[in-house]
A and B are shown apart, each in its own frame.
Chain A
Amino acid sequence: MKEEIVIAGFGGQGVLSMGKILAYAGLMNDLEVTWMPSYGPEQRGGTANVTVILSDKPISSPVLDAYDTAVVLNQQSLDKFESKVKPGGTLLYDPSGIHRLPERTDITVVPVDAVAATVELKNAKTYNMVLLGALLKHRPVVPIDAVLRGLKKTLPERHHHLIPLNEEAINKGMSIA
């Protein structure tokens, strides 16, 4: 098993932490992982993306030019990564962040209205966990319990009381995608 994932959006949308949680979940599940963030030139309000590879064999390089799965949260990211999803791969996007719909027909395209789900959960900080739930529904690369253990590893202890809310957000993402 080898899954190559890119998550891309604006800094502040939880892109990097979503990737980190996914990477830790892979570690908790005894997988080999890489996590490689990348930033746009802007100091504020700019783009951010992260590449995560999960594999049951050693990974030769964290650098990729094609992905099994892309999660895109704004138009710049869709423009950049839509063409780089491998045929048969999956593209998840947040429709509230884009104005041109994906056009590929050889991949699975999944809209995830994470803003609406976040409104229902009454907590804006759950936005990236909703997306993670949607991702795991379509590409179940790690089990939920590994994600929760990854969350525990990523979050400082003072925020551990938020783990049940994050679990609810992941389940919400699975239900809407």
Chain B
Amino acid sequence: MSAETERLTAQINTAATDAERASLYYKRGRAFWQAGDKAAAISDYEHAAALDPQSEAATALELARDVMNFYHRERFNP
């Protein structure tokens, strides 16, 4: 974990409200995505979207799933 994600983890553990926790999960998910850890990012986006469906994490989750579901058909059928 980077210093940034460690700081966000500590804040998640002490967040007072679901909205605050959702925002922190989204920020930590974004930090994971930037670092290339897609699985951890998607997991955090899922937590954030479950806590607050209006959160920007819902859109980020959809974008991340688009990436994971994308299938390079041409690789086997050039």
List residues of chain A with CB under 8 Å of any chain B CB. 10-13, 37, 39, 42-46, 48, 74-76, 96-99, 115-116, 118-119, 122, 124, 127
Contacts and interface: CB of A to CB of B under 8 A. Distances in A.
29 contacts: A10-B70, A11-B67, A12-B67, A12-B68, A12-B69, A12-B70, A39-B75, A43-B72, A44-B72, A45-B38, A45-B67, A45-B68, A45-B70, A46-B72, A96-B30, A96-B34, A96-B60, A97-B33, A97-B34, A98-B34, A99-B35, A99-B36, A115-B59, A116-B56, A118-B63, A119-B56, A119-B59, A124-B59, A127-B63
Contact of B68 (A39, A44, A96): A44
Q: Which of B31, B36, B72, B74 has the most CB of A within 10 A?
A: B72
Given A48-B72, A75-B34, A96-B30, A13 B59 contact: no
B66 A13 contact: yes
Interface residues of B, number: 21
Nearest to B38: A45
Given A12-B69, A13-B67, A96 B59 contact: no
A11 B72 contact: yes
B62 interface: yes
A42 B66 contact: no
Interface of B: 30-31, 33-36, 38, 56, 59-60, 62-63, 66-72, 74-75
Nearest to A124: B62
Contacts of B68: 12, 44-45
